[in-house]
Structure 1
Amino acid sequence: MAPAIAISPAQTKPQHRSELPALAELEVLHKRNEELEKELKRSLEREENMKQELQRTWERLRVAEEAEERLCSQLGEFEAEAVDQARSYRARLMSLMEQLSAAQKLLQQATINSVSSSQ
C-alpha cells in the first residue's frame, strides 16, 4: 500500500510572492467563468422562451390560414349564389318586360278598336 501524503493548510498557501498574482488571476478567471455560466443559463432560458413563442406563433398562423381557406370557400359559394340570383332576377325582369309589352299592345288595340267602333 502506498504511503499517504498529508498536506497541511500551511502547505496549500503560496510559498512565494510570485504565486500570489497567479492565484488572484485564477480567482478572477473562476469568477468570470461563473458569470459566463450564468449568462449561458439565461441565454438558454431566453432561447427556450423564444422557441415556445415561435411555436405559439406558428400555431396561430396555422389557424389563421385554415380560417382564410374556409372564408375563401364560403366567399366562392356566396359568389356562385349571387350569380344564380342575378340570373334568376334578370330572367324574371325579362318576363315582366315581355308581359308589360304584350299588355301595352293589347291596350293599344283595344283603344284603336273602341275609337273605330265609336265612329
Structure 2
Amino acid sequence: MAATVSLKTADAGKEEEMRKRNEELERELKMSVEREDRMKEQLRCLWERLRVAEEAEERLCSQLGELEAEAVDQARSYRAHLSVLMDQLSAAHKLLQSASISLPTDHHAL
C-alpha cells in the first residue's frame, strides 16, 4: 500500500509539474501571438509608408520631367530671341558702317 501511495504522490507531482509547464507554454504562446500581431501591424504601417513614398517619388519624377521640358522650351525661346537681337545688332552695325557714321567716344562732343 505504501508503494501505491508513493506512486500516486509521484503521479500527482508529475501532473502538477506538467500543468505548470502547460501554463507556462500557454503564456509564452500568448506572448508570441501578441508579438506577432504587433509585428504585423508594424509591417502594415511600413508598407503604407512605402506606398506613400513611392507615389510621392512618381509625382516628383513627373514634375521633374515637366520642368525639364519647360526649361528646354525656355532655352530655345531665349536662344531664338538672342539670335534675333544679334541679327538686329549686326544689321545696325552694317548700317552704321555703310553710312560711315562713327560714334564719338568723347561725351563732350555730343
Class of the TM-score when normalised by the shorter of the 2 chains = 0.7 to 0.9
Query: Structure 1 stretches (4+) deviating beyond 3 angstroms?
Result: none
State the percentage of identical aligned residues: 66
Aligned to 2:5, the other structure's residue is in SS state coil
The reply on whether 1:43 has 2:32 as its aligned counterpart is: yes
1:65 aligned residue: 54
The reply on whether 1:22 has 2:5 as its aligned counterpart is: no
1:97 aligned residue: 86
Number of equivalences: 99
Tell which structure's C-alpha radius of gyration is larger: 1
In structure 2, what is the Cα distance between the partners aligned to 1:49 and 1:18? 46
In structure 1, what is the Cα distance between the partners aligned to 2:39 and 2:53? 21
Deviation sequence 1:66-99 (CA, Å, 0-9, x none): 1111111111111110000000000001111111
TM-score normalised by L of structure 1: 0.77
RMSD: 1.5
Q: Which amino acid aligns with 1:24?
A: G
User: How much has 1:17 moved relative to structure 2?
Assistant: 1.3
TM-score normalised by L of structure 2: 0.83
Q: What runs of 5+ residues in structure 1 fail to find an aligned partner?
A: 1-13, 113-119
The reply on whether 1:53 has 2:27 as its aligned counterpart is: no
Q: Which amino acid aligns with 1:81?
A: E
The reply on whether 1:79 has 2:75 as its aligned counterpart is: no
Deviation sequence 1:11-35 (CA, Å, 0-9, x none): xxx9521322222121111101100
Aligned to 1:20, the other structure's residue is in SS state helix
2:98 aligned residue: 109
